[in-house]
Structure 1
Amino acid sequence: MVGNNPSVFHGEGYDFIELREYMPGDDIRHIDWNITAKMQKPFIKIFREERELSVVIVSILNGSVHFGSKKFKQEIIAEVAALLGFSTLKNGDLLSSYIFTDEMISHTKPSKKLYQVQKSVEEILNFNALNRRVDFKFIADTLYKRLKRKSLILIIGDYFEIPDFKLLAKKHEVISVVVRDKLEEHPPEMGFASLLDPESGVVLEGDFNSSSVKAYSKKVALHDYKLFETLRKSGIRFTKVYTDSSAAVALRRLFEGR
C-alpha cells in the first residue's frame, strides 16, 4: 500500500503526462496538431490511463515447496499471496489468482470480494505438492493466452528452474517473488545420508561432507545469478523471501524500489 498503484499503464485515459516526438507505430490519433505545427515535426500526447489495475497472483506449487526449516515454503507462498491479495482489494483493484504445477490446478475470475483471498490461501495451504513438477513454459503460454487485459502479474515460487517470461513481460508487467529456505541454499554437513526428492520421489544417497555441500552451495549461487540476470533482461522485477524472514518487509522494499 506504499504510494499509488504499483504499476503505471499508458493508455487513453484523461491524465495527461507529457508530449514526445512521434515514433513509427504510434497511434496517429494522439498527435497534438498545434505543437506539431509549431515545431514542424509530429508530436504525440502521452497519457496515464485512469483505470483500476488488473492484478493476477500466480502460485507455483511443485514438490520442492514442501520443505522448510522454520516454515514450509508452501506456507510462505500462502502468506505472500494473502498480503498481495488483501493489498490489491484495499487499493480498489481487480484480483484474480492461479495455482500451477505442470498444469493449471485452479484459477479465479477477476473480483473485488474478500472471500476470494481466503479461498485462494486455503487452497494453497491444503494442496498436496509432493511429486508435482513445474513447467514454466506451460505457465507462461497459458497466462499469455488467457489474460487479454494488460495486467500486473505476480508469480510466486521457489524458482529452481529458470523461466522464460520474456514474451509474457512484453504484454504485461511481471514480478517474480522467489521463496526459499536458507537451509536449501547452504546445507549443513550431514555425512552419509539419504534424501528424498519431493518432486520425483527418488531417494538420493551420498556423503554430504564439507567439500560436497560447498560445491552444492556454489551451484545454487550460480543458478540464482543466471536466474536474476534472465529476469533483469526480460524487464522483470523480483525479490527473494526466506522462510525465516518477514514477507511483508521484502514486498514493501520491492514496491518502494520503483
Structure 2
Amino acid sequence: MDTKELLKKVKTIELKTRGLTKQVFSGEYHSAFKGRGMAFSEVRDYHYGDDVRSLDWNVTARFNSPFIKVFEEERELNIMLLIDISESNNFGQKERTKKELMLEIVAVLAFSAVANNDKVGAIFISDEVEKFIPPKKGKAHCMMILRHMIDYKPKSKGTNINEGLKYFRNVIKKRSIAFVISDFIDYSAFVDGLKIANKKHDVVALKTEDPLEKELPKIGITKLYDAESEKYKWVNTYSSSAQEKYKQAYIKRSKQFEEAMRKARIDYATISTDSQYLEALITLFQRRAK
C-alpha cells in the first residue's frame, strides 16, 4: 500500500470512529477506568481516626509530630493495546475481516485515550513480539499506531500471546489498562499469562470472531484451511452431522473461553464481524463501572 492510499485509509477510520468515540466514552470511559489508581498528593497533620498505615514517618520524625500521607485518584492513565496480528485474523466475510474489526476497535480505544488526555501505546504480537510502540499522548501518535497496524507485514503467521504479555510486564512499569485484542483461538495457552499481567495491571480481553466460525456454510465438499497450522482437511459441508459438530464445537469453545476469563477475573467482551461493536463495548464498560 503506497503512502497516499495508507493515509487515506487511516483518515477514513478516524472519521468513522470519531462519533463512536464520543458516544461510548463520554461517560462510560471515566466510570469504568478512572480512579482505579491512587497517587501521592501531599502530607497533613494527623487527626484522630486516621489510618496509621498512612503515616509519613520521615516527616513525622523531622517535625516530632505525626503527619499523614494524602492520596488522590490518578487522572492520567496508560492505555496499552496488545494486538494479535497473526494470520488467523485475516479470516472473515467480504464485508469485514477480523483484522478490519480489530482496526476499528483499536481506533476507538486510541482516540478515546487522546480525548481523555491519557497515553496510549501498542504491542503487535504473532508468536513473537513484532513491534512495540511506547505510550504517548496526542492524535498524531494514534494515527501512527493505525498506520502501522494497516501496513505492517508480520514476520510470523502463528500466535503466542504469552510472548506479548511477558514483554508488556517487563517494559511497562506503570500500572496500565491493557486491552488484549485477539480471536483467542488458543486462549488456554496464555490464560496464566493474562492472570500474571492482571496482578499488576488492569487487563481486558476483547475477543473477535466471525459468523463463519459459528456455523459451517453449505458449500459442498470443500477443503478447509487452518492458516496457523497451514494444514487442510476435506469436509462435506452439506452433512448435517458435520454442521452440528461444527456448531457444537463453537459453542463449547465459547463457553470454555468465558469460564476461563471469569476464573482468571479478566473482564472480557466477544465482538463479531457482523455486529456493531459499539453495543458490546458499552455493555463491558457499564459492567465494570458497577
One-letter code aligned to 1:6: A
- Aligned counterpart for 1:167 among listed residues 196, 202, 213: 196
- Find the counterpart in structure 1 of residue 32 from structure 2: 6
CA contact (8 A) 1:66 1:129 kept: no
- Quickly say closer, same or farther: Cα 1:28–1:223, change in 2 above 3 A: farther
Residue 30 of structure 1 deviates from its aligned partner by: 1.2
Cα distance in 1, alignment partners of residues 134 and 113 from structure 2? 14
C-alpha displacement of 1:224: 1.5
TM-score, length-scaled by structure 1: 0.83
Among 120, 123, 127, the residue aligned to 1:95: 120
Over aligned residue pairs, what C-alpha RMSD do you find?
Answer: 2.6
Question: What CA distance in whole angstroms lies between the structure 2 residues aligned with 1:202 and 1:131?
Answer: 16
Deviates more, 1:110-119 or 1:148-157: 110-119
After superposition, where does 1:77-156 map in structure 2 within 5 Å? 77-128=102-153, 132-156=157-181
1:72 aligned onto 2:97: yes
**CA distance in 2: counterparts of 1:240 and 1:207, whole angstroms:** 29
Q: Secondary structure at the match of 2:282?
A: helix
Contact 1:62-1:130 at 8 Å conserved across structures? no
2: distance between equivalents of 1:94 and 1:235?
25
Note if contact 1:2-1:255 (Cα within 8 Å) is conserved in structure 2: no
Instruction: Write 1 or 2 for the structure with the bigger share of helix.
Output: 2
How far did 1:47 drift? 4.8
Return the offset for 1:136: 2.3
Q: 1:237 pairs with 255, 259, 267, which one?
A: 267
Return structure 1 stretches of 4+ with deviation > 3 angstroms. 12-15, 44-48, 127-131
Q: CA deviation at 1:29?
A: 4.0
SS of residue paired to 1:108 = strand
Residue 11 of structure 1 aligns to which amino acid in structure 2?
A: M
Percent identical across equivalent pairs? 26
Deviation larger for 6-15 or 138-147: 6-15
In structure 2, C-alpha distance between the alignment counterparts of 1:231 and 1:121, rounded to whole Å: 28
**In the aligned structure 1, how far is the partner of 2:200 from the partner of 2:281?**
23
Deviations 1:220-248 (A, max 9, x none): 21112111111112221111111112222
Structure 1's 207 and 98: CA in aligned 2 closer, same or farther, altered over 3 A? same
CA drift at 1:135: 0.6
**Cα offset for 1:14?**
4.7
Q: Give the whole-Å Cα distance in 2 for the aligned partners of 1:72 and 1:88.
A: 25
Unmatched segments (≥5 aa) in structure 1: 16-20, 33-43
Alpha-carbon distance, 1:66 to partner: 0.7
Residue 189 (str. 1) matches residue 218 (str. 2): yes
Which residue of 2 is the match for residue 38 of structure 1? none
Residue 130 to residue 77, structure 1, CA distance change in 2 (3 Å): farther
Structure 1 contact 66–72 (Cα < 8 Å) conserved? yes
CA distance in 2, matches of 1:223, 1:5: 31
Q: Which residue of 2 aligns with 1:249?
A: 279
Find the counterpart in structure 2 of residue 227 from structure 1: 257
The C-alpha deviation readout for 1:152-197, integer Å capped at 9, x for no partner, is 0001111111131111111100001111111112122333111222
1:210 lines up with 2:240 in the alignment: yes
Aligned residues: 238
User: Which one is further off, 125-134 or 235-244?
Assistant: 125-134
